[in-house]
Amino acid sequence: MRTATMNRRAYSRRFWEGKTRFSQAVRRTLEELERQKGQTKKDEDEMADIESSKKRLSGVWG
């Protein structure tokens, strides 16, 4: 029985098509990082809104 062999070109093609386990894991990781980055960005925007609200209120009350 002969084992399946694959040359670099064939593996590379399968990788970029998303058909290898490794490429699927890479994509999942990148998607998760993008979600976290989006969440972090949203949190930063909320903090900026809070800071600007504090400044406006301190101008009114201060």
Q: Is residue 23 classed exposed, middle or buried when 0-12, 13-18 and 19+ CB atoms within 10 A define those classes?
A: middle
- Give the chain's radius of gyration (CA, Å): 24
* Average pLDDT of the segment spanning 40-56: 74
The pLDDT, as a whole number, for residue 3 is 66
Residue 24's pLDDT is 94
> Can you tell me the mean pLDDT for 20-47?
87
Distance, CA of 30 to CA of 1 (rounded, Å): 39
Mean pLDDT, residues 32-45 taken together: 84
Q: Which of 8 and 6 is assigned the larger pLDDT?
A: 8
**Both tokens of residue 58?**
């301190």
